[in-house]
Amino acid sequence: MTYVMSDIHGNAIRFNSIMEQIDLRPKDTLYVLGDVIDRYPDGIRILRLLMSLPNVHMLLGNHEYMMLNALDVLDRNNPEYPHILRLWYRNGGDVTHEYIKHIRKSVRKEIFDYLHSLPLNIDVEVNGKSYILVHGGIRDFEESKPLEQYKLQDFIYERTDY
């Protein structure tokens, strides 16, 4: 069986309820279309569980993207850094940041490496039908334009409201 979920946002109660309902088995595949973290406190725990499951495939969501920008990619001396951090916090990142500050650096690196490795889209076939899975759509989509020609920001719903 093939399952798809998105926008877990650290809500362990809802996530666990869904996982109980689908009863994911080794022969099943679960696609998670991003936004595992933020808003509720269990995002990193859920993310680490998903990372450990061989039959789970994940896409990068805009909340993971915001976290990477705030904690991993940007130089803290960059004048834009406070705005990037504030943007992430305004969108629920404060709870994720509070949790991630207290985990070992090696675990943090493992999480960041995993997130950097995530694709922006996945092609799947279910019951003979082809699908392209993305997190939030593709900005300015043109049917004739190959997916490889789109940029990261075309796939990620990028929040800019500092």
pLDDT in tens, 6-63: 999 999 999 999 999 999 999 999 999 999 999 999 999 999 999 999 999 999 999 9
State mean pLDDT over 107-128. 96
Helix 105-117 to helix 43-52 angle, to the nearest 10 degrees?
70
* pTM: predicted TM-score of the whole model, two decimal places: 0.89
Total residue length of the chain: 162
Helices 43-52 and 12-22 pack at an angle, to 10 degrees, of 30
Band of the pLDDT at 155, cuts 50, 70, 90? confident
Mean of pLDDT over the chain: 92
Mean pLDDT of 52-78: 89
For 141, list phi and psi in degrees, rounded to 5.
-65, 135
Q: Quick check: 162 pLDDT over 50? A: no
Q: For residue 25, what are the CA distances in angstroms to 13, 19, 50, 69, 134?
A: 20, 10, 14, 34, 24
Bridge partners of residue 30, in order along the sequence = 3, 56
